A and B are shown apart, each in its own frame.
Chain A
Amino acid sequence: MIPLSYFLVFAAALFSIGLYGVLARRNAIAILMGVELMLNAVNINLVAFWRYITPTQIAGQAFAVMVFAVAAAEVAVGLALVISIYRRRNTVVADDIDLLKF
């Protein structure tokens, strides 16, 4: 059987990859993809904790469903902003979307 550690290490790696994407990319859509990777990593964690630690309570899965909803809402608003800015400026690769340097 698969121990919990496999899932936790996987989720931590996925979260770190997403974090790198958010911090390193210049394009707003690419940054958003990084955020999605981070949220997916969290979901893996939540579901794994449900399966391994509290299988009788459904909290982990219910929380994961909420994270799905939040991710969808964020993507809708974020992409609307991206498209709106693109219409006016013809770019979404703004240097001022550099999250580590302001």
Chain B
Amino acid sequence: MTALQIIFLITAVITLGAAAMVVITRNLVHAALWLIMTFFGISVLYVLLNAGFLAVAQVVIYIGAISILMIFAIMLTRRVQQDFGPQTNAAWPWALVIAAALFGGLIWIFSGWGNFFTQAPVMGERADPLRQLGMALVSPEQYVIPFEVASVMLTAALIGAIMVAWERK
């Protein structure tokens, strides 16, 4: 077992544990904090995958924006979050069965795949994924359509969110 594998395993265990806490814990503020921990663990995995830009974006977008937005929402609706009723619905055992079945099924499918245990090819000295990504996102030959559509989608979401949340007197 190499050092990288040990780092991966430690990160993975912490991240999955935090993710499990997100869905288990009763207190929503705690859930949001566990969520931040999960996101952080995932950004470490991006580093292990040589995707530095995504690691940074993960911290900035998921931790900096999405988690904080959730914490705001939890704070703004605080009276509800102190509700001490059950936090899970009656069907939670079924949810557990479905989730476990999906996990088992996926692993079973993966294990029959030739590439499952493949090792990462060596990145060339001159490989520059960040530059490649930047070029790809605005190149008409590659991803300019999804890129522009994402911006339209964000505009629409922004208008929609303002419309919903803005209390017109």
Contacts and interface: CB of A to CB of B under 8 A. Distances in A.
Does B bind A? yes
Interface residues of A, number: 74
Interface string A1-44: 11111111110111111111101111101101110110010011
Contact of A24 (B89, B137, B164): B89
A33 B146 CA distance: 25
Interface in B52-89: 53-54, 57-58, 61-62, 65-66, 69-70, 72-74, 76-77, 79-81, 83, 85-89
Given A12-B103, A74-B157, A79-B70, 4 more contacts: A34-B22, A68-B58, A87-B167, A98-B89
Interface of B: 2, 4-5, 8-9, 12, 15-16, 19-20, 22-23, 28, 31-32, 35, 38-39, 42, 45-46, 48-51, 53-54, 57-58, 61-62, 65-66, 69-70, 72-74, 76-77, 79-81, 83, 85-92, 94-96, 98-100, 102-103, 106-107, 110, 115-121, 123, 127, 129, 132-133, 136-137, 142-143, 146-147, 150, 153-154, 156-158, 160-162, 164-165, 167
Interface of A: 1-10, 12-21, 23-27, 29-30, 32-34, 36-37, 40, 43-44, 47-48, 50-53, 55, 58, 61-62, 64-66, 68-77, 79-84, 86-87, 90-93, 95, 98, 100-101
